[in-house]
Amino acid sequence: MSKETYAAWWDKAVGGFAPQTLAERAHELGRDHGGDTASWVIDGNTSEDFCRKVIEGYDDGDPEIMDMQPAALDGQWADAPTPLHIRQALGIENAPSDEVLDAYEEGFSEGYWHTVIQAAYGKLPEYEPCGVCGFYGHKPKDHD
Ligand SMILES: [Zn+2]
């Protein structure tokens, strides 16, 4: 993952303004769900080799790695969110628009990969977290 991508992530994570539009709220909701979904991917038993493979594969856009991410909305497991869940979570009357669903899916992907990649870095002794924000994948000077 590029440094710019992490910086963009961080700006959004601590940008300091409450989300305003429905799409922005859907994006945030997706990011939370994606992060939750990813939290089991790398655990105490995950090998360092696998973590390296994930980091490299993600950087390269390797389909074998990218396919790890479940679809945000296809209901492939029991607790998977559906458009109805999104509608309820956002407190809206009608079915969410494509724009809102797209924002959700984009957020889901962002949250999923952020969580997986940070966990992968965290398992590898050769990487140090950024001294400013505690995330991996960039240097403190990138915050300037
Ligand atoms: Zn940082």
Q: 1 pLDDT band (50/70/90 cuts)?
A: very low
What separation in Å is there between the alpha carbon of 29 and the centre of ligand 1? 23
Q: Is 62 inside a domain boundary?
A: yes
What separation in Å is there between the alpha carbon of 4 and the centre of ligand 1? 11
Q: Is 16 inside a domain boundary?
A: no
Rounded distance, CA 52 to CA 59, Å? 11
* Structural domain of 30: 3-11+21-143
Q: Could you identify the residue written with the tokens 């992060």?
A: 35
Average pLDDT over residues 15-33: 83
What separation in Å is there between the alpha carbon of 134 and the centre of ligand 1? 6
Written as six digits, the tokens of 80 are 């998977």
Count of structural domains, the chain:
1
- Residue-level length of the chain: 144
Q: 14 pLDDT band (50/70/90 cuts)?
A: low
Give the CA distances from residue 134 to residues 3, 112, 138, in Å, rounded to whole numbers and listed in that order. Answer: 14, 18, 10
Q: 85 pLDDT band (50/70/90 cuts)?
A: confident
What separation in Å is there between the alpha carbon of 73 and the centre of ligand 1? 31
Q: Is 45 inside a domain boundary?
A: yes
Rounded distance, CA 9 to CA 90, Å? 22
> Does pTM top 0.75 for this prediction?
yes
**pLDDT over 90, % of the chain:** 67
What separation in Å is there between the alpha carbon of 5 and the centre of ligand 1? 12
What separation in Å is there between the alpha carbon of 9 and the centre of ligand 1? 10
Position 102 pLDDT exceeds 90: yes
What separation in Å is there between the alpha carbon of 59 and the centre of ligand 1? 18
Residues with CB under 5 A from ligand 1 (ion): 130, 132-133
> Which conformational region is residue 92 in: left (phi greater than 0), alpha (psi within -120 to 50 degrees), or beta?
beta
